[in-house]
Amino acid sequence: MTIPRIHENNWNFCHLISGELHAFLSFGAQINAQNECQELYYLNLTQGFSEDAPNLSQQCFNQLSVALKELNQRYQHFDLWDMNSQSSGPGEGGCSTCQAH
C-alpha cells in the first residue's frame, strides 16, 4: 500500500505538480436541503498557479477523505510541492517570493 503524499494534515498547503499542471484541493460550502452549511472539497487541476490560471477540471466531494484518495490516485505520477517549504516548485516561486514577505 502506498502512503498518500497529500493527507489530512497537509492538504491545504501542498499541491501535486507536473510541469505547468497543478492538482490540489480547495474548500467550499453550500446550504443543504435542511438549511445547514455543508462542507465541500474540490479537486482542481489548473494550468499554472495564479488567480487567473485556467481551471482544466474540477470535481466536488462531500468528504475530505474521499477527495484525498482521488487526488493521490489520479495524480500519483505528479511531484509533490509543499508551499510551506518556502522553496520554489518547478517554474514557480515558492512562499519566499510572495509579495507579502
Given a cut of 90, whether residue 90 has pLDDT beyond it is no
- The dihedrals phi and psi of 41, each to the nearest 5 degrees, come to -125, 130
Q: Is residue 79 part of a domain?
A: yes
Model-level pTM? Answer: 0.79
Q: Is residue 35 part of a domain?
A: yes
Structural domain span for residue 81: 14-86
Q: Is residue 31 part of a domain?
A: yes
pLDDT confidence of 85, banded at 50, 70, 90?
confident
Q: Is residue 7 part of a domain?
A: no
Q: Is residue 27 part of a domain?
A: yes
The predicted structure's pLDDT at residue 48: 87
- Residue-wise pLDDT for 33-80, tens only, equals 999 999 999 999 999 888 889 999 999 999 999 999 999 999 999 999
Burial category of 7 from C-beta neighbours within 10 Å (exposed 0-12, middle 13-18, buried 19 and up): middle
Partner residues linked to 46 by β-bridges: 22, 55
Q: Is residue 95 part of a domain?
A: no
The predicted structure's pLDDT at residue 83: 79
Q: Is residue 81 part of a domain?
A: yes
- Residue-wise pLDDT for 4-16, tens only, equals 789 999 999 999 9
Give the chain's domain count.
Answer: 1
